Amino acid sequence: MEKYLKLLSESKIFEGVKEEEILKMLNCLSFKIRSYKKGEYIFLIGDKISSAAIVLEGTVHIQKEDYWGNLSILNEMSEGDIFGEAYSASLSGMAENNAVAVKECVILYLNLEKILTVCSSLCDHHNTLIKNIYRTISAKNLFLTQKIGYLSQRTTREKLFSYLSDQSVKAKSATFTIPFNRQQLADFLAVDRSAMCSELSKMQKDGIISYSKNTFTLKEI
Amino acid sequence: MEKYLKLLSESKIFEGVKEEEILKMLNCLSFKIRSYKKGEYIFLIGDKISSAAIVLEGTVHIQKEDYWGNLSILNEMSEGDIFGEAYSASLSGMAENNAVAVKECVILYLNLEKILTVCSSLCDHHNTLIKNIYRTISAKNLFLTQKIGYLSQRTTREKLFSYLSDQSVKAKSATFTIPFNRQQLADFLAVDRSAMCSELSKMQKDGIISYSKNTFTLKEI
DNA sequence: AAGAAAAAGTTGTAAAAACAACAAGAGTGA
DNA sequence: TCACTCTTGTTGTTTTTACAACTTTTTCTT
C-alpha cells in the first residue's frame, strides 16, 4: 500500500493532494489496487465494469479485434490516465473493448459515482479530486478527437503526416520520439504495417521526414 | 430566458433538477445563451475557449478541413451534448477544430471550472449537475471510441458495416434511420461519397443490407 | 558471443479507394 | 408546372492500399 501512495500522489488524478490526505480519501472511497503482467487482459469485451480504472504504472491498450482478426488499438493509456470510466457510467455497464497490459501494470480501481457524490465535506480535497478527474477525462476526449483527425485522413502518408505533425507540435521540436513500435503505430493509424513501412521510406526519400527507430524529424519543405 | 428554462430542464445536463432550481443555479454560475443560424460558425480553430458549450436546440458538427480542402466531421453534437469543454480545460485553451451549426441552434455556455468548484453547499443540486456532466462527457468518450472503431476498419464496406451494425444494435431493430445524408455519412466515415454510394449499392446487391434514403435494414446472412 | 527471436524494411501483385465526370431523382420555389 | 438546386447513384480511370512472401536489422537469451 505504502509503495503506491507515492505513485498516487504523482498521478494526475491526485495532483495537488498530499500523501496523508490521499490515504484519508481512499478510506472514504471504495478502492482496489491490482497489478498485471505484460500481455495480461485487464478486462474483456462484455465484462461488467463497475468502477473506473486508473493507470498508476505501465501502459494499457484499449483494443478490439474484428471477425477476421485485424487488431485495432483504439487508445493507449499511460500513467495517470483513466479508462473504463465510460462503461461504468453507461446503461449496459459492459466493456465494448478489450483492455490489455502492454507492460507490467499497476491499476487503481475507484468507484467514480461515489467520488462524484460529495460526502458532506468529509474530505477537503474531494473538490480537487473532482476537478482532476474532469480534466483527465477532458484530455482523453481531446486525444480521441485528435486520433479521429488522423484516421480521417485518406492516405497512409496523410495519416502519418498528421500524426507526426501533432507529435512535433506537442514536443515543441522538429525531432521527437513516439511511444509506438512500427506494428503499434500501424495498428494505431489503422493501416497495414508493411505498407506503412514502405510509405515511411518514401517520405524519407522525398525529404519530408527522416527517422531512425522511434525518433522522427520533420523536414522543412 | 423563460423559453429556455424548459429546454434546460429537459437537457441531460439538468436532468433531475426542477425549473425553479435551475434558475437559482444559473444565478450562482456564469452562463450565457446564444442562438446561431444554420451554417454559422460557433467557434473556429484557434479561438480562445473559456467555457463549455451545451446544445439546447439543434445540431452542431465538430469538423476540420485539411490543407487540400477535405472536410472531416469529427463529431456530431445534438441536444444535451457538451462540446468545447476539453479546450477550456486544456493548457492552450484554444479550439483545435471548427464548430458549425448544421441547423438553427441554441447554445448554453457555462463556466465548468466554476461548476466543479462546489460552492459551500449553496445549491443542493450542484452534485446532480456534476454527476450529469460526468455522465455526458463519459458518453461522449464512448461515442468517440466507437467512431474510432469504425474508422479503424480497412475497407469502406467494413466501415459501413460496423457503423450500421452499431446503429442497428442501438435501435434494437434490424431497421433504423441514421441522422446523416450520404455526404455527411461519407465525411463521418472519412471515405469518398461516390465510392461509398457504389459500395452501398454492392452491399444491397449482395443481400447484406437494403435501404431507401436514410432508412437501412440489415439482412440475415 | 552465437544463435534465436522479434522487429523493421522491401518488393510485386491483386484488390480497393479516390477521383472525376456525369446521369437520374427528389425537393423547392416562382 | 417548370426550372433550378440539391442529393444520390453510376461508371471508368488512376492512385493507393492490403496482402503475402521475403530479406535485413535489431534485440534478447543463454
Nearest CA in chain B to A142: B86
Contact status of B65 with chain A (Cβ, < 8 Å): no
Band the pLDDT of A202: cuts 50, 70, 90: very high
- Chain A residues in contact with B126 (beta carbon < 8 A): 118
Contact status of B195 with chain A (Cβ, < 8 Å): no
pTM: 0.86
| Mean pLDDT calculated for residue range A5-20 | 84
pLDDT at position B96, please? 85
> Could you say which of A97, A113, A138 has the minimum Cβ distance to residue B137?
A138
Min Cα distance A40 → chain B (Å) is 22
What is the C-alpha separation between B169 and B42, in angstroms, rounded? 32
The answer to whether residue B111 scores a pLDDT higher than 60 is yes
Contact status of A114 with chain B (Cβ, < 8 Å): no
What is the C-alpha separation between B94 and B192, in angstroms, rounded? 30
What is the C-alpha separation between B156 and B175, in angstroms, rounded? 21
pLDDT at position A185, please? 94
* C14 C1' to A199 CA distance, Å: 19
Band the pLDDT of A156: cuts 50, 70, 90: very high
Q: Which long-range contacts (CB under 8 A, 24 or more apart) does A199-202 make?
A: A199/A156, A199/A157, A199/A160, A200/A160, A202/A157
Which residue is the nearest neighbor of D17, CA to C1'?
Answer: A195
**CB-proximal positions of chain D, under 7 Å:** 7-12, 16-21, 26-27
- Beta-carbon pairs below 8 A across chains A and B: 137
| Cβ neighbours of B91 (radius 10 Å) | 7
What is the C-alpha separation between B89 and B84, in angstroms, rounded? 9
pLDDT at position A147, please? 92
Band the pLDDT of A196: cuts 50, 70, 90: very high
Mapped onto helix, strand or coil, the DSSP state of residue B77 is: strand
- Chain A residues in contact with B192 (beta carbon < 8 A): 154
Name the residue with higher pLDDT: B2 or B86.
B86
Q: Across chain A, what does the average pLDDT equal?
A: 85
Strand D proximity: list residues 131-170 of B with CB under 7 Å.
154
Please give the span between the terminal C-alpha atoms of chain A, in angstroms, as a whole number: 53
Q: Of A95, A35, A36, A29, whose CA–CA distance to A62 is shortest? A: A95
- Yes or no, beta carbons of B145 and A66 under 8 Å apart: no
C-alpha cell at A219: 523536414
Mapped onto helix, strand or coil, the DSSP state of residue B90 is: coil
What is the C-alpha separation between A214 and A177, in angstroms, rounded? 5
- Yes or no, beta carbons of B131 and A116 under 8 Å apart: yes
- Yes or no, beta carbons of B144 and A145 under 8 Å apart: yes
Band the pLDDT of A199: cuts 50, 70, 90: very high
Residue type, B198: S
**What is the 8-class DSSP label of residue B56?**
E
What is the C-alpha separation between A58 and A39, in angstroms, rounded? 12
Query: From the Cβ of B197, is strand C under 7 Å away?
Result: no
| Mean pLDDT calculated for residue range A119-130 | 69
Residue to test with chain B: of A85, A138, A163, most B Cβ within 10 A:
A138
Sign of the dihedral defined by the CA atoms of residues A163, A166, A170, A173, in that order = positive
| Mean pLDDT calculated for residue range A158-175 | 89
What is the C-alpha separation between A70 and A130, in angstroms, rounded? 37
> Could you say which of B131, B142, B149 has the minimum Cβ distance to residue A86?
B142
Question: A152-161, B66-75, B171-180: lowest mean pLDDT where?
Answer: B66-75
Question: A64-73, A164-173, A202-211, B147-156: lowest mean pLDDT where?
Answer: A64-73
Residue to test with chain B: of A113, A134, A160, A166, most B Cβ within 10 A:
A134
**What is the 8-class DSSP label of residue B174?**
S
**What is the per-residue pLDDT across A45-82, written as a single tens digit (0 to 9) for each?**
889 998 899 898 888 888 876 555 556 777 888 888 88
The answer to whether residue B221 scores a pLDDT higher than 70 is no
| Residues in contact with A211: Cβ distance below 8 Å, sequence separation at least 6, in sequence order | A200, A204, A217
Band the pLDDT of A152: cuts 50, 70, 90: very high
pLDDT at position A66, please? 58
Q: Of A47, A192, A43, A39, whose CA–CA distance to A103 is shortest? A: A39
Nearest nt (C1') from A192 Cα: D18
Name the residue with higher pLDDT: A214 or A220.
A214
Query: From the Cβ of A193, is strand D under 7 Å away?
Result: no
Half-sphere exposure of A68 (CA within 13 A, CB side): 6
**What is the per-residue pLDDT across B112-160, written as a single tens digit (0 to 9) for each?**
777 777 655 556 677 788 888 888 888 888 889 889 999 999 899 999 9
Hunting for cell 496523508 — which residue is that? A20
Contact status of B69 with chain A (Cβ, < 8 Å): no
Q: In what order do the strands lie in the sheet with B71-77?
A: B41-43, B98-101, B60-65, B71-77
- Yes or no, beta carbons of B85 and A121 under 8 Å apart: no
| Mean pLDDT calculated for residue range A7-13 | 83
What is the C-alpha separation between A28 and A40, in angstroms, rounded? 30
**What is the per-residue pLDDT across B48-92, written as a single tens digit (0 to 9) for each?**
998 899 898 888 888 876 544 556 777 888 888 889 988 887 778
CA–chain centroid gap for B29, Å, is: 24
pLDDT at position A13, please? 85
| Mean pLDDT calculated for residue range B16-41 | 84
The answer to whether residue A122 scores a pLDDT higher than 60 is no
What is the DSSP code string of chain A?
-HHHHHHHHHSSTTTT--HHHHHHHHHHS-EEEEEE-TT-EEE-TT-B--SEEEEEESEEEEEEE-TT--EEEEEEEETT-EESHHHHHSSS-B-SSEEEESSSEEEEEE-HHHHHS--TT-STTHHHHHHHHHHHHHHHHHHHHHHHHHHTSSSHHHHHHHHHHHHHHHHTSSEEE-S--HHHHHHHHTS-HHHHHHHHHHHHHTTSEEEETTEEEEPP-
Min Cα distance A19 → chain B (Å) is 22
pLDDT at position A216, please? 94
- Chain A residues in contact with B161 (beta carbon < 8 A): none
Alpha helices in chain B (DSSP H): 2-10, 19-28, 85-89, 112-116, 126-151, 156-171, 182-189, 193-205
> Could you say which of B113, B138, B146 has the minimum Cβ distance to residue A137?
B138
Q: Across chain B, what does the average pLDDT equal?
A: 85
- Chain A residues in contact with B140 (beta carbon < 8 A): 141
pLDDT at position B211, please? 93
Query: From the Cβ of B183, is strand C under 7 Å away?
Result: no
Contact status of B169 with chain A (Cβ, < 8 Å): no
pLDDT at position A114, please? 78
What is the C-alpha separation between A54 and A77, in angstroms, rounded? 9
Q: Of B105, B95, B103, B31, whose CA–CA distance to B63 is shortest? A: B95
